[in-house]
Structure 1
Amino acid sequence: MGFLLKIVLFGVAVYAAWKTFSRWKGLWDRFVGGPTAAPPPVPPSAPQAPPAPAPMASRRATVEDAVQCAGCGAYAAASVPFCSQCGRPLPQGRSGG
């Protein structure tokens, strides 16, 4: 016999064995009862929502006066005594402009 014919006959035999097995298994399950199905998994509970952010009225922005340094031209807060760029003393009580 040819090789291709052997492959085809083997395929037919496997198909017939599978169909026979599935038919007998179906009959067995019908009379005896099939395996008990596991209950569906319980969905996880919804995650807790993060707390609501504070309203805008309770969060106040901190705004400070800025003074321009006469030496380097950088702006610094009016509350600091020296420029952070060049180290020169800043004029107190006067905003730059």
Structure 2
Amino acid sequence: MHRMRFVRSTHLAKHVQTHLEVREKFECEECKKSYTSLQSLKDHQKTHSVDDGVRFDCETCGKSFRWRASLREHKKMHRGEENPRKKTIQCE
């Protein structure tokens, strides 16, 4: 059993699907993360590409974000704050 939290209900639904059926895994060659769809892998791979746009960096851990709102949400984790929008599911 494991507990996972999701900001969006669509992410929760995708996660539940991974437990309901066997799916092909798509692995990122750069960081070895795996995804259940090719589109998810392609979206993830964009995070590895060089971006000429503005980035927002976390002073605590150095993680970089494209959006200020994402950095704000990330900083809550360092402060130990819970995100009330996240949903919790127990998977067995």
Normalised-by-shorter TM-score class: under 0.3
Larger Rg over CA atoms: 1
Question: Which has the bigger relative contact order, CA under 8 A and spacing at least 6?
Answer: 2
TM-score by length of 1: 0.21
Report which of the two has the higher share of helix.
2
